[in-house]
């Protein structure tokens, strides 16, 4: 009884903390399964599925404004292609993307960071665009990577204006916690 009262008091005292909790959102991948992402409740969500290839693209933004955008595309892979998506192959792919972006980056080198969750495994990097106006659709900071999640490959780009935004940690947590649920009978 006392613990229930304490929980109720905490909810009353810190209502914004309870509102900010991530909620699982499900995104269908036609004919194969569902991508499940734990998205903060207030974030704006837009998604678009395609049948060929079986994929879903998801865009996440803050409740208001344009301080950041998390863009993700999850593509279902045939078993043979899935076998090719080893951690080493993902690392090489992400490294190649980073080398291309380094040409316009403040940084001289991109550090690859492993991103691992219960189902997710892959790599990402973060860079700063030295020529960005940092307004409109032009963002100064980027974190980009690729992870496998069950039977899908998830490619993500997190664009943001402020270097230390907590939203970056939240975005990486969404990717880390991504899950794939196989469609029954598939």
C-alpha 165/C-alpha 163 separation (Å) is 6
67 in a structural domain: yes
C-alpha 49/C-alpha 100 separation (Å) is 28
- Give the residue ranges of DSSP H helices in 21-112: 79-84, 87-102
120 in a structural domain: yes
Residue 33 in contact with residue 181, Cβ under 8 Å?
yes
55 in a structural domain: yes
9 in a structural domain: no
Read off the CATH number of the domain in which 145 is found: 2.60.120.1690
List the domain range (segments joined by +) for residue 138. Answer: 22-182
* C-alpha distances out from residue 77 to 23, 84, 144, Å: 26, 10, 20
The answer, yes or no, to whether the previous bond of 53 is cis (omega within 30 of 0) is: yes
8 in a structural domain: no
The confidence score (pLDDT) of residue 186 equals 63
Instruction: Tell me how many domains the chain contains.
Output: 1
12 in a structural domain: no
Please, what are the averages of pLDDT over each run of 10 residues along the chain (186 residues)?
42 44 94 97 97 97 97 97 97 98 97 98 98 95 98 98 96 98 83
90 in a structural domain: yes
The confidence score (pLDDT) of residue 183 equals 87
The answer, yes or no, to whether the previous bond of 129 is cis (omega within 30 of 0) is: no
């Amino acid at each position: 009884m006392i613990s229930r009262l304490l929980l109720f008091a905490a909810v009353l005292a810190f209502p914004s903390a309870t509102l900010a909790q991530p909620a699982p959102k499900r995104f269908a991948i036609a004919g194969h399964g569902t991508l499940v992402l734990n998205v903060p409740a207030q974030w704006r969500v837009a998604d678009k599925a395609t049948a060929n290839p079986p994929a879903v693209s998801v865009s996440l933004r803050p409740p208001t404004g344009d301080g950041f955008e998390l863009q993700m595309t999850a593509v279902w892979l045939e078993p043979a292609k899935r076998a090719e998506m080893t951690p080493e192959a993902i690392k090489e792919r992400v490294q190649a993307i980073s080398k291309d972006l380094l040409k316009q980056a403040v940084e001289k080198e991109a550090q690859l960071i492993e991103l691992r969750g219960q189902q997710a495994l892959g790599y990402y990097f973060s860079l700063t665009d030295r020529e960005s106006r940092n307004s409109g659709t032009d963002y100064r900071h980027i974190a980009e990577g690729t992870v496998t999640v069950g039977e899908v490959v998830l490619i993500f780009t997190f664009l943001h204006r402020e270097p230390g935004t907590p939203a970056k940690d939240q975005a990486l947590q969404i990717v880390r916690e991504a899950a794939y649920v196989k469609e029954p009978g598939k």
